[in-house]
Amino acid sequence: PIIRMEPPYTNVSIFERRKILHTALGFIRRSKVKYKFIYIEKYPTDSFLDISSRISKEISAWIRENYKELSSYGTIKLYYDNGQIELTKILSTLFNAFFPVVENRQISPRDYRLFQAADIICTLFLVKHKFDTGVMSKSELLFFGDERNLDNNYLKKLKKQSY
């Protein structure tokens, strides 16, 4: 919504919207959030099972690679907003298979800053992918300008927090 000037940002200037996004990115850096961004290309010939299988393989490989660190947490908490039910099922199944204590919590995104942080991270990397493939929307081009601006002003510091 902040990039596309949708509610509640309909009457907010681009300068103010960029400032809000930079403030959110500052929170992400200070909170020392670590993330793993996975992009799965969806082809017209892919079945639902093909896509689910690729997502499951990517996530389970990541869990195995980071198992020691992840298992050091007493409880793994999965937050979801009912946005992508199948993804929620995959995450719940995989995390419950790997870890003894997993809590599933349904939330409203506006109530949890870390959930919003995850949304921002995903959005920025999706925009990067769209720049790479040349399918930018007008609102994304207006907000970020060019790929160099996106990389230098939004992604450069964020990439340091990746797994």
What secondary structure does DSSP assign to 44-81, as a single string? Answer: TT--HHHHHHHHHHHHHHHHHHTHHHHHTSS-EEEEE-
Give the model's pLDDT for residue 131: 95
Give the model's pLDDT for residue 43: 87
User: Could you tell me if 63 and 158 are in contact, meaning their C-beta atoms sit under 8 angstroms apart?
Assistant: no
- Three-state DSSP at 103 gives strand
Give the model's pLDDT for residue 82: 74
Which residues lie below 8 Å from residue 64, measured CB to CB, with a gap of 6+? none
Burial of 150 per CB tally in 10 Å (0-12, 13-18, 19+): buried
- Determine the Cα–Cα distance for residues 94 and 37; give it in Å rounded to an integer: 17
Give the model's pLDDT for residue 106: 87
> Which residues does the chain have with pLDDT short of 50?
none
Dihedrals phi, psi of 160, to nearest 5 degrees: -70, -15
